[in-house]
Structure 1
Amino acid sequence: MSTATPTRPTSRRASLDSRTVVDPPGTRRRRSVPRLLGGALLVVLGAVAFGVIGLRADPGIDVLAVARPVIAGTQLGDADLRVVHIVPDEDLRVVRASERSTVVGRTAAVPLAAGALLTTDQLGTVTDPPPGQSVIAVGVKTGRAPSGLAPGASVLVVVVPQSGAADTPPQARAVVRAVDLTDSSGITVVSLQMSAESAVRIAAATGDVALILQNPGR
């Protein structure tokens, strides 16, 4: 006599086992929050590490620069200096910003241009003009010099001879040191630095002085 094996309970158990388990919505949200926080923390830590490495890799230093034009022989004041950040050159004897207090009150040995880096050899006993150089003043008539002529410009000085003169006009290369205001007669007094020999030749020449602006590399 055969015995029938019941199959309904087995089918029901398989059906229960095959059902997909789905987490409640609240559980999934709770699991994602820690992951988001962890990712944000990693981003912040990476940014901080990058910033620290960047600061350590910066080879620049803070040094002193000239804030405004300073005449040779003038005692430097705090307002004459400003701080700039540069990558230093080994051959350039710059003054660090931390030495500012020791620089104030010292004498400028040479004229200092605004924006120029301050170096140790620019301070101390006045050495202006340099050995072998002289500074002379010449009167320049209107139309005999380029407009906007400023200190530091390289010029060719030509003394235009009187009418009818056939001699080659005296000339010399020079650097403009100062430009005074034009007076009522139309004369502008320009201070020029040039070799001592050229200064004597130009000062002794007769005629009108003309200034030709040139490239300093020429």
Structure 2
Amino acid sequence: MTSTDIDTGGGPDTAAVERPGAWLDSTGSPGTPPRRRRRRLPHLLFGVLLVVCCVGGAVWWTTGSQDRVAVLVVARPVGVGQVLTAADLRSIDVAVAPGVATVPAAQVSAVLGRPMATSLGPGALLTPDSVGDAVVPGAGRAVAAVAVKPGQFPPELAAGTRVTVVVIADTAPGTATTSAGGAPWQATVIGVAPAGTDQATVVSLELETTAATELAQVPAGQLALVMQPAGGGR
């Protein structure tokens, strides 16, 4: 009797057998093997992010440009009562927050020739209240006059300059120094009177009321003025 052996071991040739009809087209003829699709997801995500960044940058730049306006600032120290000239002002572009009072650069003609209502230093924003009737001293502030000699103040001192007032020892015989609990004091110069026959220069200072009272109790000759960076604030 003849027996037929069936190979069920799945030898090497079995793995090489392709699924029937895998490469056949609709007519049964051999077709082109299918191509594997490349994964382009990372490139797609990069393109989307690039577009988002470009759009966001354009919106940010446009918004920032629209919020910036040309306003007037003080170009050099100006004091109370001083009549404004074109040389006293300059224009800058700033982003103005809601509620901040400014004078648009286009309205410069409305303030030229008018007196200052307060003292401002270089770089300070000009506001509508800065021009007109004097408002010095303001609420909670006072004006004190000090007499200083050469060497006790910078010769560049002018109205609008921010200064620190310090107490120094008087070396004159028979003169005792005083105790000033609040020293040093922060003040704004609102006027400088030229030196008289005694070579003393009188400087008017605006500062807090309590500080002005303490300052007035210091004997003449025991004070010195130190200039501070320009800022214009009180």
Structure-2-length-normalised TM-score: 0.52
Structure 2 counterpart of 1:152, which letter? T
- 1:155 has 2:164 as partner: yes
Give runs of aligned pairs for residues 81-92 of structure 1, distance below 5 A. Answer: 81-92=89-100
1:135 to 130, 143, 161: 143
**Residue 189 of structure 1: SS of its match in structure 2?**
strand
- 1:168 has 2:207 as partner: no
Structure 1 counterpart of 2:142, which letter? S
Structure-1-length-normalised TM-score: 0.55
Partner of 1:101: 109
Give runs of aligned pairs for residues 1-218 of structure 1, distance below 5 A. Answer: 58=65, 59-145=67-153, 151-158=160-167, 160=169, 163=174, 165=176, 168-169=179-180, 172=183, 173-177=185-189, 178-179=191-192, 186-211=199-224, 213=226
Q: How far is the alpha carbon of 1:127 from its aligned partner?
A: 0.5
Q: How far is the alpha carbon of 1:204 from its aligned partner?
A: 4.3
Structure 1 counterpart of 2:216, which letter? A
Q: How far is the alpha carbon of 1:194 from its aligned partner?
A: 2.4
Question: Quick one: structure 1 residues 102 and 181, their matched pair in 2 at CA, closer, same or farther if it must change by over 3 Å?
Answer: closer
Query: After the TM superposition, which of the residue ranges 91-100 and 204-213 deviates more from structure 2?
Result: 204-213
Write the distance in 1 (CA, Å) between the matches of 2:122 and 2:135. Answer: 19
Structure 1 counterpart of 2:179, which letter? T
Give per-residue Cα distances to partners, 1:22-53, cap 9 Å, x unaligned: xxxxxxxxxxxxxxxxxxxxxxxxxxxxx9x9
Q: Quote the sequence identity (%).
A: 32
**Residue 132 of structure 2: SS of its match in structure 1?**
coil
Structure 1 counterpart of 2:68, which letter? G
Question: Quick one: structure 1 residues 164 and 128, their matched pair in 2 at CA, closer, same or farther if it must change by over 3 Å?
Answer: closer
Question: Quick one: structure 1 residues 146 and 113, their matched pair in 2 at CA, closer, same or farther if it must change by over 3 Å?
Answer: closer
**Residue 108 of structure 1: SS of its match in structure 2?**
coil
Number of residues of Structure 1 aligned to a counterpart in Structure 2? 165
Write the distance in 1 (CA, Å) between the matches of 2:227 and 2:105. Answer: 36
* Consecutive unaligned residues in structure 2, runs of 5 or more: 1-57, 230-234
Q: How far is the alpha carbon of 1:65 from its aligned partner?
A: 1.9
Q: Does the 8 Å CA contact 2:141/2:209 hold for their aligned counterparts?
A: yes
Q: Does the 8 Å CA contact 2:144/2:212 hold for their aligned counterparts?
A: yes
Write the distance in 1 (CA, Å) between the matches of 2:177 and 2:71. Answer: 55
**Comparing both chains, which one has the higher relative contact order based on Cα–Cα distances under 8 Å and sequence gaps of 6 or more?**
2
Question: Quick one: structure 1 residues 170 and 148, their matched pair in 2 at CA, closer, same or farther if it must change by over 3 Å?
Answer: farther
